[in-house]
Structure formats: structure tokens, C-alpha cells
């Protein structure tokens, strides 16, 4: 029970623990929090998702502890579906997302169950294209 009055608490003798809503286990950790503005994110080969900021990229380069670091831009995701498939791959596997064994997860899946109303959207799209074709045929007559 949440109350500001001590007499309303069920167990007032116990110490109350403050819960941090930004962290799943409630712990107050450094580097855990909400994004204050729109931000781009990078998915690493080890499937860690980090924000693409100057400080996070410098920290990542320091963790590598190598003098000659060659960075390559492997994938540029422009579609929402590709981003969802990459997220699905990162959540279902503990291996690198860009290896050949997981490349099939980045392709379009046959059944898009995670996208609500995906089937309805596709049906409407097909229906609209059929209507356009019918109108074009009628206008030609």
C-alpha cells in the first residue's frame, strides 16, 4: 500500500525500499534511465543496444583497448520491419546478429505475428490496388 501516513502502512516497522522505475529490478545503477530526446541506437555484434552518442562511442572504443580499431558500418535500416526483425533476432539469440547463421532473421518473415493488424493492412492494400485497377479499366471504356 502506498501512503504518506505511517498509520496507514501495513508493516510500518520494516524499512521501505525506494523503487527505481527505469530499471527492471529496481536498483539504482549508473547508465540506466530514460532518453530525454530522440536518439539513434546501435546494435553491436554481441547484440548490445547502445545509444549512438559521442560519449557511448568513446566508451566503446576504450573497452576494445586496441590501438588500431577499424569500424565498419554494416547495416543501415530504413524500414520499420527490418528494425523489428533485428530486435527479434537480438531477443531470441545470444549469438552475433550479423553472422550468416542469423542473416535469415533480418529478411522479411512470412508471418508477421508481432505486428498488430498486419494481415488487415495487407488485405486493405490489396483491395485498394484492385479498386484502382477497376477504375482504370472503367475509365478506358
Cell numbers that stand for 73 in this block: 558500418
This prediction has a pTM of 0.31
State whether 102 and 132 are in the same domain. Answer: no
**Residue 74: which residues within 8 A CB-CB, separation 6 or more?**
98
User: Residue 131: which domain range?
Assistant: 111-141
Q: Is residue 64 part of a domain?
A: yes
Q: Per residue in 45-77, is it b (16+ CB within 10 Å) or e — as a string?
A: eebeeeeeeeeeeeeeeeeeeeeeeeeeeeeee
Residues 48, 95, single domain; the answer is: yes
> How much is the CA Rg of the chain, to the nearest whole Å?
25
- Do 69 and 126 have their domain in common? no
Tell me the three state secondary structure of residue 109.
coil
Confidence of residue 1 (pLDDT cuts 50, 70, 90): very low
Any idea what DSSP says for residue 75? -
pLDDT on residue 112: 46
Instruction: Kindly state whether residues 96 and 46 are assigned to the same domain.
Output: yes
Tell me, yes or no, whether 71 and 137 share the same domain: no
Would residue 4 count as lying in a domain?
A: no
Same domain, 78 and 132: no
Amino acid at each position: 500500500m502506498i501512503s504518506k501516513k505511517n498509520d496507514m502502512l501495513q508493516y510500518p516497522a520494516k524499512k521501505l525500499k525506494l523503487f527505481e522505475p527505469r530499471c527492471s529490478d529496481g536498483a539504482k545503477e549508473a547508465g540506466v534511465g530514460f532518453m530525454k530526446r530522440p536518439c539513434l541506437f546501435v546494435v553491436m555484434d554481441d547484440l548490445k543496444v547502445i545509444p549512438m552518442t559521442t560519449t557511448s562511442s568513446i566508451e566503446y572504443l576504450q573497452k576494445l583497448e586496441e590501438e588500431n580499431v577499424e569500424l565498419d558500418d554494416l547495416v543501415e535500416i530504413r524500414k520499420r520491419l527490418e528494425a523489428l526483425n533485428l530486435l527479434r533476432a537480438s531477443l531470441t539469440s545470444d549469438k552475433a546478429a550479423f553472422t550468416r547463421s542469423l542473416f535469415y532473421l533480418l529478411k522479411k518473415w512470412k508471418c508477421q505475428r508481432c505486428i498488430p493488424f498486419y494481415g488487415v493492412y495487407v488485405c486493405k492494400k490489396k483491395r485498394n490496388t484492385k479498386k484502382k485497377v477497376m477504375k482504370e479499366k472503367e475509365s478506358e471504356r
